[in-house]
Structure 1
Amino acid sequence: MNSYDVIIIGAGPAGMTAAIYAVRANMKVLMLDRLAPGGAIINTNEIENYTGQGVISGAELSIKMFEHTQLLGVEFDYKTVLEIEDRGEKKIVKCEEDGTEYEASAVILATGTVPRKLGVPGEDQFTGAGISWCAICDGAQFRGKDVVVIGGGNSAVEESIYLAGIVNKLTVVTLFDLTADPKACDKLRAMENVTVYPYQDILEFTGDTSLSGVKFKSTKEDGTERFVECDGVFEYIGLKPSSESFSELGVLDKFGCITVDGEMKTSVTGVFGAGDITAKRLRQVITACSDGAIAANTAAKYVESLRG
């Protein structure tokens, strides 16, 4: 069994920053992720608030971060983690691929989040065939067509602005009002091909062999029902933590997020959390990086304490 000082599960901004700090602390580090390094930011068209970068695409920032880890010699492997077994001073990370197992003194959990779904009729039928959760990935196929975006938060508004620049007509449907950054909301509302329907509840996605439209209903007293024809739908209704593999560790809150203290320690000695998977109020690239740096620093000190 391969043994490491620190194993980092997740290669998003939190995980990659943790890897950089851990290896610079003279730790033997392994970073694991089942997908390409970068996490959710790979699918972000533009990032404007990462200090020192100005405007940069999520994919470009991901590449820069990963190249930094490789420059420092961080080991990386594509693995799907199934379970972490706590054996006191040693943690066993069990992976799906070939039953691979790794041993580490400290583990940093940085697996991030995945998009939530509505769970309404037609959603499963048209998933990947009209309904998407990634405008950067799939937006181009709807160029010049009519599209609906569901959601009113930062992701919904930012991706709506991007989509409005390439589609014919964009309809934004949200359960509340637009709650994103006010400047972004103003920019979206000012676009001529955009219509916003606040305070609406999605009822159904319609269509036979292909998506034809969205039915929704006002949450106000009148309960007005509407139907908007469209060729594609992009959902941005929030995120859920990717924490299923850690459910037996006893480090999750009722929402499935990892509970950590100010040093990114969980309730299990030698297990740390970082990034969007942790219970926190602000989920941004820069805060994920901050979490990763703190987690790695705390983990390295813990490993050093075991060495005596």
Structure 2
Amino acid sequence: MENNTYDIVIVGAGPAGMTAAIYAIRANMSVLMLDRLSPGGQMINTNEVENYTGTGKLSGAELAIKMFEHTQELGVAFDYKTVTGIADNGPLKTITCEEDDTVYQARAVILATGTVPRRLGVPGEDSWAGSGISWCAICDGAQYRDKEVVVIGGGNSAVEESIYLAGITTRLTVVTLFDLTADPKACDLLRRFDNVTIYPYQEVLEFTGTDRLTGVRFKSTKEDATERYVECDGVFEYIGFEASSQAFARLGILDRTGCIKVDSHMRTSVPGIYGAGDITVKHLRQIVTACSDGAVAANSAAVYVESIK
């Protein structure tokens, strides 16, 4: 596009961003999609996807490739860029990038930068991320049916996902830095499972394994500092997430956690700026819900662009 000006610029090339790009270009918009990493977002870290409608079982990377190829078949412009700032200048928004101080302008911007699961930063975590360590039981839990699993965390997400996993695994061990802090009824339900063992006030030290993940080593945060080791086939971490929203923190569209506040049309409080996918305030963060957000955001953005042209 001449002078680096587009109808719609999409920041983020996960499932929300790629779906937004598909819908936007089909609405006859000039579209640019930006991401500092390979298209797919957190989806590419998922070993198996079994709950995306119509695809059956495939890896997250395979699904990401299919989605990206779809955008390219339709002619969506894509570039590897690290967006460092977004300014609202009324009819045109300015998007600045780290690489070569590149600047783009857009009549509308869709923010689909997603979130990053908070990690423990202990030995073995990077080695088994996505192939033994997961951050989504709904996505990956089924592959651990009748196996032994460890859940790390004690908040609502950890306990709710543990209840699901307890119903399909032979043994579930919950390791949490504090005690269970989830809804008391959910905590009581989890404790009723005979195959669940809970270790509160524990610090995770290491994930072990050579050819595959084999266990978790942790120690008590109490004075005795007792060390324990639990063998397992898989680990699910639920210690929170970090919103990837630093580049647009000054727009006044974020909640206290850094997620984007949107309405049912995926509009933010700034006209012409939209949110989609995991970066928005929402209950269920899944590939299919991200795609839905992207479609709605693109439709809303296209209507907006037509109204100001």
Q: TM-score when scaled to structure 2?
A: 0.77
CA distance 1:270–1:172, shift in 2 (3 Å): closer
Aligned to 1:146: none
Determine the structure 2 residue equivalent to 1:185. 166
Give per-residue Cα distances to partners, 1:71-126, cap 9 Å, x unaligned: 000001111000001111100100001100100000000000001145xxxx4xx4
Structure 1 equivalent of residue 218 of structure 2: 214
Do the aligned partners of 1:214 and 1:228 also contact (CA within 8 Å) in 2?
yes
Picking from 144, 160, 168, the partner of 1:161 is 144
Secondary structure of 2:169's aligned partner:
helix
The equivalences for 1:282-293 within 5 A come to: 282-293=284-295
Give the letter for the 1:289 counterpart. Answer: C
**Counterpart in the other structure of 2:21:** 19
Counterpart of 1:240 (choices 236, 239, 242) is 242
Contact 2:14 2:112 in 1 (8 A): yes
Query: 1:91-102 maps to which residues of 2 (within 5 A)?
Result: 91-102=93-104
Pairing of 1:102-113 with structure 2 (within 5 A): 102-113=104-115
Give a deviation string over 1:161-182, Cα, whole Å, max 9, x none: 29x97xxx86444426742286
Please state if 1:132 is matched with 2:113: no
What is the number of equivalent residue pairs in this alignment?
274
Cα displacement (A) at 1:49? 1.4
Partner of 1:175: 154
Q: 1:41: which partner in 2? A: 43
CA distance in 2, matches of 1:197, 1:61: 35
Task: State whether residues 175 and 199 of structure 1, in contact with CA within 8 Å, keep that contact through their aligned partners in structure 2.
Answer: no
- Cα pair 1:150 1:236 within 8 Å, conserved: no
Amino acid at match of 1:187: I
Q: Show structure 1 runs of 4+ deviating over 6 A.
A: 229-234
Task: State the match for 1:144 in structure 2.
Answer: none
Counterpart residue number, 1:270? 272
In the TM superposition, what whole-angstrom CA distance separates every residue of 1:226-254 from its partner, at most 9, and x where no partner exists?
Answer: 52278998744232211111101110011
How has the CA–CA distance of structure 1 residues 159 and 236 changed in structure 2, closer, same or farther, with 3 Å as cutoff?
farther
Supply the AA of the counterpart residue of 1:295. Answer: A
CA offsets 1:136-193 (integer angstroms, 9 cap, x no match): 35x4xxxxxxxxx698x6269729829x97xxx86444426742286643222369xx
- AA at the equivalent of 1:185: A
Alpha-carbon separation, structure 1, partners of 2:134 and 2:11? 31
Q: CA–CA distance in 1 between the matches of 2:64 and 2:128?
A: 16
Between 50-59 and 81-90, the greater mean CA deviation after superposition: 50-59
Q: Which amino acid aligns with 1:200?
A: P
Contact 2:84 2:98 in 1 (8 A): yes
Between the aligned partners of 2:77 and 2:139, the Cα distance in structure 1 is 35
Shift of 1:216: 3.8
Show structure 2 runs of 5+ residues with no match.
Answer: 173-194, 208-214
SS class of match (2:87): strand
Q: Which residue of 1 aligns with 2:90?
A: 88
